[in-house]
Amino acid sequence: MVYALTEEQEALRGQIRQMALEKVAPRAAEIDREGVYPWDMQKLLAGNDLLGLAIPQDYGGSGASLLTNCVVAEELARTCATTSLIFVVQKLAAYPIVLAGSEETKKKYLPRVASGECLASFCLTERKAGSDAGATQTMAKAVDGGYVLNGEKCFITNGGLAEVYSTFAMTDPDKGVRGISAFVVEKDCEGFSVGHIEDKMGLRGAQVSEIMFEDCFVPEENMLGGRGEGFTVAMKTLDNSRPLVGAQALGIAQGALDVAVDWAREREQFGSPIGKLQGIQFLLADMKTQVEAARQLVYRSATLSDMNHPDLSINSAMAKLFASDVAMKVTTDAVQVLGGYGYMKDHPLERMMRDAKVTQIYEGTNQVQRVVISRRLLGKI
């Protein structure tokens, strides 16, 4: 299967690159240092109609393909991974509503999410249900007119900032993963509260928190899909979002490569630019090769998502796995090219290296991606 970026997609890449260089890059180090959610970046993305890029036109978005979304995530991450995450999470959190929400639910929530008027959040992980997402302990008990949620989520990106939470809870514990259901929960709901806000290694501008539900009533119409379909909604959402995390990782790697190449041209040792040394040349050549290979896998998986292709799951897992490992390797090698300078906060590489790490962890650790890949490869044995 071959894909190609259209002229429109290449033009959009150029526009995002320009915007990122002018408005995002000057803020990137500061966002990392301050560790505070950058509302100015959120407004920049919303003002450029980017937060609704993945949301269908009928609900206030642009209805752009996942491939187009990947190009945007990549270009943003090239300068600032936190800003790219604002874009990525809005799509991740909206997807369960797009996929499984009723017409009324879509009309109620998606236009506000698309315009950026409100942030959205994907509320799956729990302390005892991380990689084992099916072990969800948050309970949703059926009552008159809806469900009452009790439980705690953790590591929730946009936790406390978002107004709309795509949330997964157990309605029928005796049915295992088939007993999980999905809901839209609003921040204003009685019984909804925000717990500990995490202090993180990277993506320092993103707010990640615990979310608590204590007798939190959610009306029946806020269920996404049928009762017991929540795990499938979560898995399909991740299948369609992992290419975007791959794109984010790819952008971080490309950004690190850009810095390393510039440095190799300019930095002089032994009387000439270090780029003349074969040791540096080979390091850069390997980095470039890995970045291009990751790009192919990411774009291919996004194209399969756009085609609604049955092989999406294995391909999005491979793209996320490979691109995030490349991001870790390339950022580490780029630090090496700069030597002592690369280790210092005066240069962006140490931030990029810290930011890269989480791409190997979130939206499923790379060990989980290998589980997904090998299960698809082997089938039932």
If binding is defined by CB under 6 A, does position 362 make contact with ligand COS? Answer: yes
Contact flags string 192-231 toward ligand COS, x per CB under 6 A: ---------------------------------------x
Task: Report the nearest approach of ligand COS to the CB of residue 142 (Å).
Answer: 22
Asked if 313 interacts with ligand COS (CB under 6 A), we say yes
Treating both helix axes as pointing N-terminal to C-terminal, what angle do 312-338 and 366-378 enclose, rounded to 10 degrees?
Answer: 140
Residue 227, both tokens: 């009762």
Binds ligand COS (CB under 6 A): choice among 5, 29, 139, 177: 177
**Which position among 208, 297, 321, 372 is part of the footprint of ligand COS (CB under 6 A)?**
372
The least CB distance from residue 313 to ligand COS, in Å, is 4
DSSP conformational letter for 23: I
374 binds ligand COS (CB under 6 A): no
Q: With CB under 6 A as the contact rule, which of the stretches 21-29, 64-72, 122-130, 248-256 interacts with ligand COS?
A: 122-130
**Are 206 and 76 a contacting pair, CB within 8 Å?**
no
**Phi, psi torsion values for 321, nearest 5 degrees:** -60, -55
> Is 190 part of the annotated catalytic residue set?
no
Among 102, 193, 232, 366, binds ligand COS (CB under 6 A): 232
Query: What's the N-to-C CA distance of the chain in angstroms?
Result: 28
In the bound state with ligand COS, the residue whose beta carbon lies nearer, of 290 and 301, is 301
In the chain, which ranges are continuous DSSP H helix? 7-19, 25-34, 39-47, 66-79, 81-100, 103-115, 230-266, 278-306, 312-338, 349-359, 366-378
- Three-state DSSP class for 103? helix
Q: Measured between alpha carbons, how far is 164 from 155 in angstroms, rounded to an integer?
A: 16
Q: Considering the candidates 74, 126, 210, 363, report the single residue annotated as catalytic.
A: 363
Q: Which residues sit at the interface with ligand COS, rule CB under 6 A? A: 122, 124-125, 131-134, 177-178, 231-232, 235-236, 238-239, 313, 362-364, 368, 371-372
Q: Which residues are catalytic?
A: 363
